[in-house]
Copies of this chain bind each other. A is one copy, B any other.
Amino acid sequence: MKRALPRVFTRNSGKSDGVLMNVEDRRVKRTQRLLAKALITLTLEKGYDVVTIRDITERADVGYATFFRHYHDKDELLEDVLDVVLAEMLELLLPANGADPAAMGTLIFRYVGEHSEVCRVLTGSMPLTRKLITLGTQSVRGDTLPQAASIVPPEIVAHHIVASSVALIQWWLEHDMPYPPERMGAIYAALIVQPTGATALSG
C-alpha cells in the first residue's frame, strides 16, 4: 500500500478543479505571495484589465509559465486575494460580535484603511464584490433577524445591510478616506444598522 495522499493539494476552497499545487511547500507559498503582491501593485498602477500575465510574472520576478502552474487566469489569482482578506476580517470581527454597531463599524473601517490598496482592487471587481455580498448576506441572515410580518422580506433586509456597507466602504476608498475609521463606524451605525433594524421590526 502506497500511503494515502501525504501531500496537501488544497486549491483554496477546493472549487477550482484545475491547477494543483502543494500549498505547504515554501516555494509555492513564496511564488503565490509574489504573484498576488505584483497583481495588486500593477492594478493600482494601471488598472486591472490592462494588466497582463507577463506584467505580473515580470514584476514578481517569476517565470512566465510558472503563473499557469498556480492559476488558470488573473481572476483566479484575485479570488485568492479575496479569500485571504475575508478570513482576516472574519477573525477580526468574530471576537467583537455583539458589540455595539459603531464599534463594529470602526473595526471594519480600521481594517479596510490598513489594507486600502488591496480593498480598492477587490471592490473594483464586480464578480468579487458580488461574492462578498452573497457571503455577507448569508452570514447576516443567520446571525440576526428572527423577524416576520414586514413589508420588506428578511432576505432583502440582510442583502441591503451588506450591500450598503460595501457601498459605504467603496465611497470611503474612492474619496481617499476623508474621515477616520471611528467617524465611519458611527456613520455606519447611524446610516445603515440603526435605520434598517427599525425597518425590519416595525416597517
Q: Across the interface, do A190 and B186 meet the contact criterion of CB distance under 8 Å?
A: no
Q: Which of A138-180 contact B (CB under 8 A)?
A: 150-153, 156-157, 159-160, 163-164, 167-168, 170-171
CB < 8 Å neighbour of A167 from B157, B160, B187: B160
Q: How extensive is the interface on chain A, given as a class?
A: 20 to 34
A171–B134 Cα gap in the complex (Å)?
A: 10
The main secondary structure of chain A at its interface with chain B is: helix
Identical copies of this chain, number: 2
**Chain A residues within CB distance 8 Å of chain B:** 124-126, 129, 133, 150-153, 156-157, 159-160, 163-164, 167-168, 170-171, 186-187, 190-192, 194-196, 198-199, 203
Q: Which residue of B lies closest to A163 (CB)?
A: B167
Taking A159-B171, A191-B199, A191-B203 as given, write out 10 further A-B residue pairs in contact, using a Cβ cutoff of 8 Å, ordered by the A residue number: A124-B126, A133-B167, A150-B190, A157-B191, A160-B164, A163-B164, A163-B167, A191-B196, A195-B196, A195-B198
Contacts of A170 in B (CB 8 A): 163
A168–B161 Cα gap in the complex (Å)?
A: 11
